[in-house]
Structure 1
Amino acid sequence: MESRSWIYVFVVAIIGWSIAVWFGSETKELVLNLDGSNFHETVAKHDFIVVHFYVPWCRHCQKFAPEYEKVASLLSSHDPPITLAKVNVDDEKNTGLASEFKISGYPTIKIFRNGGNHIQDYEGPRDARRIVAYLKVLSGSASAEIEDSTEDYDFDMYINVV
């Protein structure tokens, strides 16, 4: 009788795990993975898209990756929408993109507006909070909410944003 209860517990655990995996795979990816086959089409569909060009072996890229994911999470419900994407430049099918956009250092962040007709380099701080603030201003939001005191805020990064 006792072995049946263990079997029951085991079956319930497997079912629970299966459900968790099923629903977990349904979550929306916050950062799009782009490559040479879908880059131009994807950029053309967006009024405002931020692209992180990286190589997986770069320590700066590895350090920046969680911050970029945090930016995507913080902006996931922003209005107007700000789409974030990434391109692994180390992949053979993406080397043409690296040449086309003159990517020579990593990580490189480029902002594409108006379907890719206007391209701008992001050269500001690499922490999520400041990137989010900058992108909110640049995306044309009516206002950019600053949650901290302005004491340590770098307002110079907003000069010549248009």
Structure 2
Amino acid sequence: STPGQAEITSLDTGNIEDILSKTSVCHAHLCRFSQMLHPIFEEASNIVREEFPDVTQVVFARVDCDQHSDIAQRYRISKYPTLKLFRNGMMMKREYRGQRSVTAIADFIRQQKIDPIKEILSLEELNTVDRSKRNVIGYFEQKDSDNYHTFEKVANILRDDCVFLAAFGDVSQTERFSGDNVIYKPVGDTVPDMVYLGSLTNFDLTYAWAQDKCVPLVREITFENGEELTEEGIPFLILFHVQEDTESLEKFQHEVARQLISEKGSINFLHADCDKFRHPLLHIQKTPADCPVIAIDSFRHMYVFPEFRDIEVPGKLRQFVLDLHSGKLHREFHHGPDPTDSTPGQEDVAEMASNPPESSFQKLAPSETRYTLLRDRDEL
């Protein structure tokens, strides 16, 4: 394309599914196509189209959310202009937050087109794999195969969460006992590998398995990822702990997996550095000296779990989360303890719930009307 002939696809309810599913990378500009960004987006599209002429590789697209509010609602778009990245029909959680310039946007797309899979030329290379990161390793008879193409799609989507490696042909032969094989190497030198036992031609199964391994159930919240976590739109259950206190984190991870796995998707399980997040602790009248501390941030109020040691009491942490979903924590905030509540220890929960401070972590979210970055971290 030449300047002035940018190929920017307009997405609507009728074509969005088809276009997104047929494109490996789609950079979509969602909501009120601002006049300032419009020419920049077009020029970046021109540059990228010259480098990637195949329209199945990269598509620049836009959505007018005034006309297509259903699309804005589906992707939880509340600010504009918003730049989202889609891969193989799936919206990536990390939206584009770089500079709004032609060069920066074009460079971002180039980075997305770099192959996320490193080829292993000898199995000895696996001895030097960085075990501080999550690694997914595929062993394939040949690169041009349905199995490997599925692996490629998964790697492209989860490239920010795992390191992906692959070996082919003779190099991988000893690892292919009964055909192509994929394993996961967790963080830690002594943690055993985990083998994928499903069909490698089934993308949904392969992706679900890899996502479960690459995206931990309990994630760390930082100032760098706080905005994208708030954009997921669900409350936080947070363990505040000092960085060196790995024992409390392991207990929290264990109890979340044991008591709350069914709540995944309705609440985010997070852990935070007490020292870095002193301000939210002050909101709930705590200091790093009080850590470990567990709290819920509903984006309206913060509620404190009475005693950290009680997470090992069967069902207690789960009930704390269920009381948020049922409205009990908020109800007691307005009306005091429920009169029928006579469970031992619940008086403490009700007392703390009846005086919750306002949400702290909602301040990490961007403006509802324009793109922002958290500039003053001391506000939190």
Match for residue 219 of structure 2 among 17, 32, 38: 32
1:12 to 2:176 alignment: yes
Question: For 2:262, what is the secondary structure of its paired residue?
Answer: coil
Write the distance in 2 (CA, Å) between the matches of 1:89 and 1:112: 15
Question: For 2:294, what is the secondary structure of its paired residue?
Answer: strand
Cα distance change on mapping 1:86 and 1:8 into 2, 3 Å: closer
Cα displacement (A) at 1:135? 1.9
Deviation track 1:7-37 (CA, whole Å, cap 9, x = no partner) reads: 9983425x77x50227664314211221012
Write the distance in 1 (CA, Å) between the matches of 2:223 and 2:241: 14
Q: Which has the higher contact order (CA 8 A, sep 6+)?
A: 1
Match for residue 101 of structure 1 among 281, 285, 298: 281
Question: For 2:263, what is the secondary structure of its paired residue?
Answer: coil
Question: For 1:46, what is the secondary structure of its paired residue?
Answer: coil
RMSD: 3.6
Q: How does 1:112-151 map to 2 (within 5 A)?
A: 112-113=297-298, 115=299, 117-124=300-307, 125-127=310-312, 129=314, 130-140=316-326
Provide the TM-score with structure 2 as the length reference. Answer: 0.30
Question: For 1:123, what is the secondary structure of its paired residue?
Answer: coil
State the partner residue of 2:272.
87
**Structure 1 residues 18-27 or 117-126, which shifts more?**
18-27
Q: How does 1:7-86 map to 2 (within 5 A)?
A: 10-12=174-176, 19-21=182-184, 25-27=210-212, 28-43=215-230, 45-58=232-245, 62-73=246-257, 74-78=259-263, 81-86=266-271
State the partner residue of 2:366.
none
Cα displacement (A) at 1:109? 1.7
1:159 to 2:345 alignment: no
The answer as to whether partners of 1:43 and 1:112 remain within 8 angstroms in 2 is no
Q: 2:237 is aligned with what amino acid?
A: V
State which structure, 1 or 2, has the greater radius of gyration over its C-alpha atoms.
Answer: 2
Provide the TM-score with structure 1 as the length reference. Answer: 0.62
Deviation track 1:84-116 (CA, whole Å, cap 9, x = no partner) reads: 1111345xxxx2x22353232221222101x2x
Cα displacement (A) at 1:82? 2.3
Write the distance in 1 (CA, Å) between the matches of 2:264 and 2:248: 25
Unmatched 5+ stretches in structure 1: 1-6, 143-151
The answer as to whether partners of 1:68 and 1:128 remain within 8 angstroms in 2 is no
Cα distance change on mapping 1:67 and 1:119 into 2, 3 Å: same
- Greater fraction helix: 1
Question: For 1:19, what is the secondary structure of its paired residue?
Answer: strand
Q: 1:33 is aligned with what amino acid?
A: E
Cα displacement (A) at 1:69? 1.1
Counting aligned pairs with the same residue, the percent is 11
Cα distance change on mapping 1:44 and 1:12 into 2, 3 Å: closer
Unmatched 5+ stretches in structure 2: 1-170, 185-195, 197-205, 329-342, 355-380
Cα distance change on mapping 1:135 and 1:26 into 2, 3 Å: closer
**Structure 1 residues 127-136 or 39-48, which shifts more?**
39-48
